[in-house]
Amino acid sequence: MTDKVIEDRLTAVLEAFVTGDAMGMATEFMTRKEIIRKFGGWVTSLIDTRYSKLHKDLPTGSITDDSEENLILLEEYKKAGEVTVEATVEGLLRWINESNAMEKKYIGPSAAKALTDIKGGVSPYESGREGTTCGGIMRTPCVFLFSPGQDEDQLAVHIWRCLGPPHNTSEAMEAAGAYGFALRAAFLGESFEEIIDAAMRGGERLLEFVEEIRSSPSSSARIKEVVTKSREMDECQLMDWLHEVLGNGLSSSDVCGAVFGAFAMAGGDVFKAICMGASMGGDTDTIAALAGALSTAFVGSHNIPGDILETIKHVNHLDLAGLAGRGWEKM
């Protein structure tokens, strides 16, 4: 791939991520039944935030912590020249200060506790030992996008350095490893089956970085199950099942299963993956963002309606072109 092709594809992945974040923001932590009752079961446009449970104070089309953290961490890693624990901490503390995250109440509980502890003197190598929520898998895209030419061993180390300060647990690491390896495989043009195989490798690889393997739902097992269910159900049945049976709440394993469910059903239809993420209830902004990014990496572009994307860019003052990517020479 030429530099221009790689840059365009990286930008497209970021565009899909912020679109999923903004479209899922207004439905975040609604139940699936509420979304069916209020919106007919499908979210296909930006929802007015007056309907939101959590974000009535944000303008319609706003991104949340999902996008803000990834974008700031990309900047910090570029400034440092590599993914480091120190750059991760610097970026997250900067994000808290610049975004008023505590006041907005959209910082996750694991990150809030860990970063408060770090500010109080706790080592970032110790602060994330209770972090099981989805903030870990949510930040994984920036690790790959920073250096798309990295191999799997490098990616594993970088994911650990990004997750460790707030989410140094087996549940978070397995989910992030699965997603990160899948995102890399998708970007490299591998088949759907190869992407799922990469997710299995990534989940296992990141577990090697964790001192204590805790009893928690397996992201790898959930990915296998949702791929099977996606072949047996239609979109609405799968979303109902993900919400009511598998769960799509705040935990890393919940979000991981839901993301791969939307991806397995939508494949290369990026906007469908985003809409499914925003429509299934639970942690909709994170699910829609991650599913949209993975689907875009898979096909190399997206089909997001231009008016939606332009509104999101305008509301959030985003210029995404050229933000991601280094180390292209290995691709």
Token reading at 269: 């239809």
- The residues, any chain, with a CB within 8 Å of residue 208's CB and separated by 6 or more, are 156
Evaluate if residue 330 carries a pLDDT over 60: no
> 225-236 pLDDT, tens per residue?
999 999 999 999
> What does the pLDDT read at residue 180?
98
> 130-145 pLDDT, tens per residue?
888 888 899 999 999 9
Evaluate if residue 185 carries a pLDDT over 60: yes
> What does the pLDDT read at residue 127?
87
Question: Which residue(s) pair with 133 in the sheet?
Answer: 251
Mean pLDDT of the chain: 93
Read off the pLDDT band of 103 (50, 70, 90). Answer: low
State how far the Cα of 64 lies from the Cα of 66, in Å rounded to an integer: 5
DSSP conformation letters of 157-225: HHHHHHHHHHH-SHHHHHHHHHHHHHHHHHHTT--HHHHHHHHHHHHHHHHTT-S---S---HHHHHHH
> What does the pLDDT read at residue 331?
54
Report the pLDDT averaged over residues 181-191.
97
> 150-165 pLDDT, tens per residue?
999 999 999 999 999 9
Question: Which residue(s) pair with 251 in the sheet?
Answer: 133
* Residue environment code for 189-218, b if the CB has 16+ CB neighbours within 10 A, otherwise e: ebeeeebbebbbbbbebbbebbeeeeebbb
- The residues, any chain, with a CB within 8 Å of residue 102's CB and separated by 6 or more, are 96, 112
Of 307, 306, 263, 305, the residue nearest 288 (C-alpha): 263
> 32-73 pLDDT, tens per residue?
999 999 999 999 999 999 999 988 989 999 999 999 999 999
> What does the pLDDT read at residue 52?
93
Token reading at 184: 């890399």
Higher model confidence: residue 321 or residue 162?
162
> What does the pLDDT read at residue 322?
80
State how far the Cα of 127 lies from the Cα of 93, in Å rounded to an integer: 14
> What does the pLDDT read at residue 321?
87
Evaluate if residue 195 carries a pLDDT over 70: yes
Reported as type and span, the H/E element at residue 270 is helix 270-279
pTM over cut 0.85: yes
> 63-94 pLDDT, tens per residue?
999 999 999 999 999 999 999 999 999 999 99
Of 114, 179, 122, the residue nearest 145 (C-alpha): 179
Evaluate if residue 326 carries a pLDDT over 90: no
